[in-house]
Amino acid sequence: MYGAKWVDHRGPAQLHYDHRRPPQGIRTWSDRIAHDETQLIGGIPVTTPARTAFDLASRYPVVKAVAGIDALARASKLNVADAELLAQRYKGHRNVRRARSALKLVDAGAESPRETWLRLLLIEAGYPRPQTQIPVHDEYGQLAAVLDMGWDDIKIAVEYEGDHHRTDRRQFNKDIARFEALPELGWIVLRVTVEDVPGGILRRVAVAWARRA
């Protein structure tokens, strides 16, 4: 409804529903919803971005919740502070502590669930929170690249390479030029794919940080 990407169309619809028996094929739950937590889209009543974010944060494991809210924030006018206010409003909610933790990790700069997963892996490992969508300019002031995530102050970037980087010829050629230019501009760039395991990723990041140290 909000145009967010990465919503699994194979999953069942999930609705707030006040009746005991849900319609077939739909998951439901009953909860309090204030009048200012809903709006109309195409004549259909839906929860606001803030309430949707709170529901995701309180109902799912942190990584899955943050990935969903990242996508929502990227597609809508979600203000995470508004969702955090709902956590204050419903401070007696059974999962409110988990919701607060998830909301603090939201970043609209994530372009896919795997980028969210990678960012949270780095944070969980104790690294400073990475910046996302970092612009890099060349010596002439021209934009040379926009990096998925990293630390601008020490010029270390971590890029997640989805399938489109390999299957899209134009993107593939663009990546070659981009990654040749970045070391010349002082950047260490670590490229991560779906084949990489967490331990291997963190070892590579540790080596990069040691080089800068």
Rounded to two decimals, the pTM is 0.88
**142, amino acid identity:** Q
| Sign of the torsion formed by the C-alpha atoms of 131, 71, 98 and 82 | positive
Task: Provide the 10 A C-beta neighbour count for residue 2.
Answer: 17
Lowest mean pLDDT: which of 4-8, 109-113, 209-213?
4-8
Task: Provide the 10 A C-beta neighbour count for residue 180.
Answer: 9
If you average pLDDT over every residue of the chain, what do you get?
91
Q: Crossing angle for the helix pair 198-212 and 113-124, nearest 10 degrees?
A: 60
What does the DSSP assignment read for 134-197? EEEE-TTS-EEEEEEEEETTTTEEEEE--THHHH-HHHHHHHHHHHHHHHHTT-EEEEE-TT--
Count of CA atoms in the C-beta half-sphere (13 A) of 148: 23
Alpha carbon distance 22, 43 (integer Å): 22
Give the pLDDT mean for 76-84: 96
Is the confidence at residue 172, as pLDDT, over 70? no
Rounded alpha-carbon distances, angstroms, from residue 50 to 10, 35, 66, 171: 24, 13, 13, 34
> Does 3.10.450 match the CATH number of domain 113-212?
no
pLDDT at 11: 80
**Residues 81, 45 contacting (CB under 8 angstroms):** no
pLDDT at 178: 74
Tell how many helices (H) and how many strands (E) occur in the chain. 8, 8
Q: Crossing angle for the helix pair 62-75 and 96-103, nearest 10 degrees?
A: 50
Is the confidence at residue 196, as pLDDT, over 60? yes
pLDDT at 79: 96
pLDDT at 179: 78
Is the confidence at residue 97, as pLDDT, over 80? yes
pLDDT, one tens digit per residue, over 111-120 is 999 999 999 9
Top mean pLDDT of 29-33, 81-85, 89-93, 143-147 is at: 81-85
Residue 16: pLDDT band with limits 50, 70, 90 = confident
Is the confidence at residue 165, as pLDDT, over 60? no
Domain boundaries, the chain: 13-103, 113-212
pLDDT at 82: 97
pLDDT at 170: 66
